Structure 1
Amino acid sequence: MRNALGLLLATVVAALAITGVWYYVSKPNAAKAAAQIAAARSSEPAAAPANRLATKSTAKDDVEYTGTVTAKPTMPPPAPTPKSTCANPDALGISRTVVVDTTGGPGFGLDHFKQFDFLADREVVLTFDDGPWPGNTPAVLKALADECTTGIFFSIGKHATYHPEILRQVLAAGHVVGVHTWSHANLNGKKMTDQSAKEELEKGFSAVKFALGTNPAPFFRFPQLQHRPSAVAYLGERNVAMFSCDVDSFDFRSKDADQVVNTVMTGLDKKGKGIILMHDFQKNTALALPTLLRRLKAGGYKVVAMKPKGTLDTLPEYDAMIGQDPKLPTTMTNARPISSVIQTISQ
């Protein structure tokens, strides 16, 4: 009995010893294993954020990460950059373009016509009279091109027949070509009759068409701003818009280019906007224009382009009169085509 009881007690003691040894060995090893796992996890590369790809090195000694990442979405191609036709990033440019329906002969320029006050504050329209003329008109064209802006040119018919190649350059550069009578006669003069006034108008229209090789714009300005009532009515019947001005440069009596600039800017600062009257016939205007355009830009002024809805149909009898005029330069019959004078090299 005593021997059996001793054997049972020895068995229990042995079992407890074995359990203690397992616990003693297993617990530290489990903790150590956990520590090793944690250490291993902490040394793993972090998972790539969503919507980004992990960078894969091409170096031979680098280890490529092969963890699971969210693929980068396919991005649309960037929008093409609009092609600029202006090489001057700080150019005056053109703020807006208006199309004029000349039906009934509307008038513009508040000095004489009050009905159509379409310009907003700090908006201007650049206009030039009496051309085309060698030296001066090309210089005006260059100044406008350098500032990527535009104007309306009111050509004298005779001058158009003298220098058709220059007038064609005006048109080719994208400017509007209107008319300023045949010979710059004062249509409101005492000796002027209604018939002679009509001839001044129509011969001017036909001469400009003859020089351009195409119809001019239905835009007209009276010489000396002398608006003969019967001529105003006639232009209304012909659906030709009439232009006065808001600011006169008086460049024809300016002593130098600086005076032209100061006269225009003084008038604009007083009125705040307007149609500016200049002459591409005048040397001082050609010299002043680069500075004037920069002053307009600095002053916050913006150029508005005016374009007619249609063109002016000339009268056949006056077209024939111009073509047969013996006083016209003989080179007119062999005028160079516009493609030989102006060519588009980029657009």
Structure 2
Amino acid sequence: MRNALGLMLASVVTAIVISAVWWFCTSSPRLDVAAPATVVAPRAERLTEAAKPAAAPGDVEVTAAIPDKAPVAPQPKSICANPNPLGVARVVEIDTTGGPGFGFENFKQLDFLADKEVVLTFDDGPWPANTPAVLKALADECTKAVFFPIGKHALYHPEILKQVAAAGHTVGAHTWSHANLNSKKMTEQQAKDEIEKGYSAVKMALGAAPTPFFRFPELQHNPAAVAYLGTRNIAIFSCDLDSFDFRAKDAGQIVNTVMTKLDKHGKGIILMHDFQKHTAEALPTLLGRLKAGGYKVVQMKAKAPMQTLPEYDEALIKEQKVPVASTRPVGSVVQTVAQ
């Protein structure tokens, strides 16, 4: 009797407990503790696994949250330290086929410069101290020019001419010895030799093909030489504004001469000489005046490099007594033994 009464009492207690638990679970606020709460990601973070690109071999998977705004791709660092440089407004490519002429001093067919545009050009280099000073002034303003070196000078100072090319400037030629090709004593063959030997010298100094841009010494344009340059597809440069820096008594006179002419004409190809000390001294101020006056620099490049004539290359090598280069691989000649 007592056992039966105990079993009945236990069943009643169990039923009461079960009822209480059921009432608590159905009437209390729901709280799921078995799984974490779901947080809805911003729109840019909603990237499903199916939409993610497959990782390439060697890729590292990034598990950080994708930002709401896509990051900007890193840009290459500017090589210009000047926060407000003169710079280069535009670069033009010249098709030198047929020997086009530039510069209103002698050629008036191709007027490609807009108002307030200039082309900086330098003759007669390379030369110690002066050419490097010109290069520094140009680099400080992050701008470019066209250089017309003399062949002899190029072989005197090839390391300086290499600096000109390495800085991104255009390198043409200005004859072998700065001879007046319009002289009555100059034969057509001698004029040809001056032109071709000058280009071969520039090529030898640079270790690379020069640009098919040419300027006659003293701007003396011999008709036969002009015709010859056309057959060689070499562009001929005169100028719009001559600085006459070789006559200047000081740097200030050069600046005043150029700016007076430029303000009158409004644009132009400017002729200067990196051979001249006063030009190197004047250039920082001149570039500053150009910038202040709202002038823009145009850089001129050629569509194709200059093809020198092998016979002149070979003759110059013999004349300069350049030893024949070794044909051995560089690894068998030069080896790093310590670093």
> Normalising to structure 2: TM-score of the pair?
0.75
Aligned AA (1:279): H
Q: Distance in 2 between matches of 1:175 and 1:265?
A: 23
Aligned partner of 2:246 in structure 1 is 252
Q: Distance in 2 between matches of 1:214 and 1:71?
A: 58
Q: Runs of 4+ in structure 1 displaced over 6 angstroms?
A: 330-334
Q: Distance in 2 between matches of 1:88 and 1:205?
A: 34
Q: Distance in 2 between matches of 1:78 and 1:268?
A: 46
Aligned partner of 1:104 in structure 2 is 98
Alignment match of 2:222 (pick from 224, 228, 239): 228
Q: Secondary structure at the match of 1:263?
A: helix
Identity of aligned residues (%): 70
Q: Distance in 1 between matches of 2:252 and 2:190?
A: 39
Aligned-residue CA RMSD (Å): 2.1
- Measure how far apart 1:321 and its partner are: 1.6
Alignment partner of 1:288 is 2:268: no
Q: Distance in 1 between matches of 2:316 and 2:293?
A: 44
Q: Secondary structure at the match of 1:253?
A: coil
Aligned partner of 1:322 in structure 2 is 316
Aligned partner of 2:117 in structure 1 is 123
Aligned partner of 2:75 in structure 1 is 82
Matched pairs, number = 265
For each residue in 1:233-270, what CA deviation from the matched residue of structure 2 results, as whole angstroms up to 9, or x when unmatched?
00000000000000111000000000011111011001
Aligned partner of 1:50 in structure 2 is none
Q: Distance in 2 between matches of 1:272 and 1:201?
A: 33
Q: Distance in 2 between matches of 1:279 and 1:197?
A: 22
- Measure how far apart 1:204 and its partner are: 0.4
Q: Distance in 2 between matches of 1:80 and 1:297?
A: 31
Alignment match of 1:132 (pick from 120, 126, 148): 126
For each residue in 1:250-308, what CA deviation from the matched residue of structure 2 results, as whole angstroms up to 9, or x when unmatched?
00000000001111101100100000000000000000001100100000000001000
- Measure how far apart 1:331 and its partner are: 10
Aligned partner of 1:189 in structure 2 is 183
Structure 2 residues not aligned, in runs of 5+: 1-38, 45-67, 327-339
Q: Distance in 2 between matches of 1:265 and 1:80?
A: 42
Greater share of residues in helix: 1
Q: Distance in 2 between matches of 1:101 and 1:316?
A: 23
Aligned partner of 2:157 in structure 1 is 163
Aligned partner of 1:219 in structure 2 is 213
* Cα distance, 1:331–1:251 mapped onto 2, change above 3 Å: farther
Aligned partner of 2:50 in structure 1 is none
Aligned partner of 1:93 in structure 2 is 87
Alignment match of 2:268 (pick from 259, 266, 274): 274
Q: Distance in 2 between matches of 1:316 and 1:89?
A: 46
Aligned partner of 1:338 in structure 2 is none
Structure 1 residues not aligned, in runs of 5+: 1-68, 335-347
Alignment partner of 1:306 is 2:297: no
- Measure how far apart 1:80 and its partner are: 3.7
- Measure how far apart 1:72 and its partner are: 5.0
Aligned partner of 1:141 in structure 2 is 135
For each residue in 1:104-124, what CA deviation from the matched residue of structure 2 results, as whole angstroms up to 9, or x when unmatched?
000011111111100000000
- Measure how far apart 1:316 and its partner are: 1.1
Q: Secondary structure at the match of 1:269?
A: helix
Aligned partner of 1:241 in structure 2 is 235
Aligned AA (1:82): Q
- Measure how far apart 1:201 and its partner are: 0.4
Larger Rg: 1
* Cα distance, 1:301–1:322 mapped onto 2, change above 3 Å: same
Q: Distance in 1 between matches of 2:246 and 2:175?
A: 18
Q: Secondary structure at the match of 2:259?
A: helix
- Measure how far apart 1:86 and its partner are: 1.4
Contact (CA 8 Å) 1:161, 1:332: kept in 2 or not? no
Q: Distance in 2 between matches of 1:226 and 1:146?
A: 33
Q: Secondary structure at the match of 2:305?
A: coil
